[in-house]
Amino acid sequence: MNNVNKEIEINAFTFTNKQEFKSIPRTITVDDQRYSFIDSGLRYLVQQGQHLIRLFDMTDGQSVYRLKNEDDQWTLVSIKHV
């Protein structure tokens, strides 16, 4: 596993449930490199009091990317090659 901890840009989202509109990152850009994910991945919610952190484990078919969304800021936490 490669820990990255870099701010990223989300280029596109998809939605898990058309009725609830839960958004999931579909494409990200890190250091001018674009990554597209092939499925909806796993989504985790971590809540401490009023503070909410969303974590996502996404794959492009070759690696698993852990993304964090906190206070409207997106971070690529780690990349794990499979």
Burial of residue 65 (number of CB atoms within 10 Å: 0-12, 13-18, 19+): buried
Residue 16, pLDDT score: 73
- Could you state, in chain order, the average pLDDT of each consecutive group of 10 residues for the chain (82 residues)? 92 79 89 90 92 95 95 95 89
Closest CA to 76 of 10, 6, 1: 6
Residue 18, pLDDT score: 66
Residue 66, pLDDT score: 97
**What CA–CA distance (Å, rounded) separates 53 from 46?**
5
Residue 21, pLDDT score: 74
What angle is formed at CA 20 by the lines to CA 17 and CA 23, rounded to 5 degrees? 65
Residue 19, pLDDT score: 72
Q: Which two tokens stand for residue 14?
A: 């998809």
